[in-house]
Amino acid sequence: MGGRFMLEVPATVTTRFLVATQARTLPGPGRLPDAIGDGALAREAAAMLASARLVVEPVARPSGELKARFHRLAAPPGRLGTVVGARRHIAVTAAGPPAGQPRSAQAARLAARAVAAAVRGTVADLDSRRILPGSTPPAEPEAFALGHVWVSVFVALDPGAGARVRIDTAGLHRFGLPEVAARHVAFGDVLTAAHLVRGLAWQLVAEHTAWLRRGHRDRARGTRGERAVSAADVLRFWGTGPPGRACGDRGAATVRLGWTGTDCPDCRAAIELIPATRPPAYAPPGAPTPPGDPAEDRWWRAAAEAMPQITRPAL
């Protein structure tokens, strides 16, 4: 199906959390290993702290970059104000090779939760642009799923595309991948497009992780430029589907991969999810939306039927 789509593999990826607190004093760094607790993730976090792959440090004065990340957070005004207007901020940052993901990101989030619990603070995930719910005692599940606030999906009006929207992920870049986007989406197709973006995100992370675990250290790799995204892939994004791709996956929409612009500060470009019926040279970034294409309309209807359905429970 289609040609190869080339992806750059970064040498290092970074995961960023920020703890906001009204506390006047902060605990010393020596208390953190004990605050993290026991378990495999706690041991991973302790090892990362010892090797400086995980750094926990107070923010004396927010930089311009950090302030810009503040304003990218998606939260109700009250919760956003809790983070932006806090008396103290503590940065929790993990950096290392992408082969260490997602484990290193999980360990970093556990450390951020432990710091927040110690200072009665709030954790902001600067990569997924989300403010995390509190957890007392601090806890981080061993099982990993992208939908557990690791990757967010945002919907916004598509500039220059008329009455259409654009859907973007936030958080994939910390796993060594570009973000995923769908452009020129009609209002009636938003849920379907969000499903497709999540399913494609799961596919990309699953194959990228498997490729790295096989020992590859190349700075570029090829992947399928045209592929089927199934309802099962969407469920896997949420951690509720079968763990691997099954030959019998039914209900799928064929999409093609392309490149488009992005406002992600850590990405050069985003992977665009393109309906398979759309010509390869369709609409560079910023181009106006063409008149409705009957073939593409049929593609969206078929894609909607292939994705997970919302049903009413039987009474």
Q: What is the CATH number of the domain that holds 94?
A: 3.30.1400
The pLDDT, as a whole number, for residue 280 is 57
261 and 115 fall within a common domain = no
Does residue 142 fall inside a structural domain? no
Q: Is residue 139 assigned to a domain?
A: no
In a domain, 87, yes or no: yes
Find the mean pLDDT for residues 106-123: 93
Same domain, 165 and 196: yes
| Residue 137 phi, psi dihedral angles, 5° rounding | -70, 165
* Mean pLDDT on 224-245: 90
Q: Are residues 151 and 262 in the same domain?
A: yes
Of 134 and 94, the structure prediction assigns the larger pLDDT to 94
301 with 162, same domain? yes
Q: For 284-303, how does the pLDDT look when each residue is reduced to its tens digit (9 = 90+)?
A: 444 544 556 788 999 999 99
In eight-state DSSP terms, residue 42 is H
Domain boundary residue, one of 107, 131, 155: 131
Quote the pLDDT of residue 159: 85
Q: What would the mean pLDDT of 73-94 be, rounded to a whole number?
A: 89
Whether 170 and 294 share a structural domain: yes
Domain that holds residue 267: 147-306
Helical pair 190-213 and 294-306, crossing angle rounded to 10 deg: 70
pLDDT value of residue 291: 52
Asked whether residue 315 is assigned to any structural domain, the reply reads no
Highest mean pLDDT among 34-48, 128-142, 243-257: 34-48
Residue 311 located in a structural domain? no
Q: What integer pLDDT is reported at residue 93 of this predicted model?
A: 97
Among 105-109, 180-184, 263-267, 307-311, the minimum mean pLDDT is found in 307-311
Condensed to tens digits (0 to 9), the pLDDT of residues 11-33 reads 999 999 999 999 988 877 777 77
Domain boundary among 72, 102, 131: 131
| Judgement on whether residues 89 and 169 belong to the same structural domain of the protein | no
Evaluate whether residue 7 is within a structural domain: no
Residue 38 domain-assigned (yes or no):
yes
% of residues, the chain, pLDDT over 70? 90
Are 202 and 167 in the same domain? Answer: yes
Q: Determine the number of helices (DSSP H) and then strands (DSSP E) in the chain.
A: 8, 13
Domain-terminating residue out of 79, 96, 131: 131
Q: How many CB atoms sit inside 10 A of residue 247's CB?
A: 4
For the chain, the helix, strand and coil percentages under 3-state DSSP, each to the nearest 5: 35, 25, 40
- Check residue 288 and give its pLDDT: 47
Number of domains in the chain: 2
Same domain, 57 and 202: no
Whether 216 and 270 map to the same domain: the answer is yes
Q: Does 30 map to a domain?
A: yes
> What is residue 219's predicted lDDT score, i.e. its pLDDT?
93
Residues 109 and 167 in one domain: no
Q: Which residue has the higher pLDDT, 82 or 150?
A: 150
* 207 and 277 assigned to the same domain: yes
User: Distance (Å, rounded) from C-alpha 202 to C-alpha 15?
Assistant: 18
| Residues 158, 219 within the same domain | yes
- Per-residue pLDDT tens digits for 186-218: 999 999 999 999 999 999 999 999 999 999 989
The pLDDT, as a whole number, for residue 80 is 86
State the average pLDDT for the chain. 89
- pLDDT band per the 50, 70, 90 thresholds, residue 163: confident
